[in-house]
Structure 1
Amino acid sequence: MENELVVELINKEDLDKYHIVDAPVDHSSDLRRKLENALRLGNEFKSKANIVFMTDDGPKRIETTVWSLTEKYLQIKAGVLLPLSSLIAIDY
């Protein structure tokens, strides 16, 4: 049986209270397809994604709509950017 990591859910409006750092392992290329799907779901259906990323305080999770995606960042509401290198997981 695999142990599931419980990650603290934070409000996306509180992201500025955290120092976002690179994840121990760069998952960005592995997550690319999921990120593109989350972008499409957000733009076409206003669906939210669960995004787990690394901070100085350990992994955190937000539920949000992905607004745009670049080579190095994903953008959420209010122009907030999350570096892809900080991502641990994404689910929708």
Structure 2
Amino acid sequence: MNVVSEIQSIEKEQIKFLTFSKSEVLRKKNDQLNRFLDLKRALALGNLERGKVKITFVDDIGLKMVETTIWALTDESVILKKSTIIPLQRILKVA
């Protein structure tokens, strides 16, 4: 099974139409900490160099991936352009 082929690539404008469960997708506390550190680096990259990152996350339907710039980061969410929000606990990976 090829996981990459199961990830749906979407535009950031589509995120506002998605629904998210409140459960955490990463079970290990260390993985959650590393995700937050990766997001902080991605935020700095976006602010300093207008660099885009790929965020892999899970909505109520399945795996999604968006390539975007992170504008802000809170303890509970990632904020993209036009106040688009992805709940932090639903993010699997930042690259």
Question: Residue 40 of structure 2 aligns to which amino acid in structure 1?
Answer: E
- What amino acid is aligned across from residue 54 of structure 1 in structure 2? V
2:25 maps to amino acid: P
C-alpha contact 2:35 2:94 (8 A) present in aligned 1? yes
User: For each residue in 1:48-73, what CA deviation from the matched residue of structure 2 results, as whole angstroms up to 9, or x when unmatched?
Assistant: 01001111110100000000111111
| Whole-angstrom distance in 2 between the partners of 1:84 and 1:29 | 11
Match of residue 59 from structure 2: 55
1:16: how far off? 2.1
Residue in 1 that maps onto 2:90: 86
Task: Give TM-score, length-normalised by structure 2.
Answer: 0.83
CA deviations over 1:17-51 (Å, ceiling 9, x no partner): 22123453355322111101100000000000100
Which sections of structure 2, spanning at least 5 residues, go unmatched?
Answer: none
Give 5+ residue unaligned stretches, structure 1: none
Q: How far has the Cα of 1:4 moved from its partner?
A: 5.4
8 A Cα contact 2:26 2:32, kept in partner? no
Q: Percent identity?
A: 28
Matched, 1:24 2:25: yes
Q: Which is richer in helix?
A: 2
Task: Give the TM-score taking structure 1 as reference length.
Answer: 0.86
Cα pair 2:58 2:92 within 8 Å, conserved: yes
Which of residues 52, 63, 73 is equivalent to 1:69?
A: 73
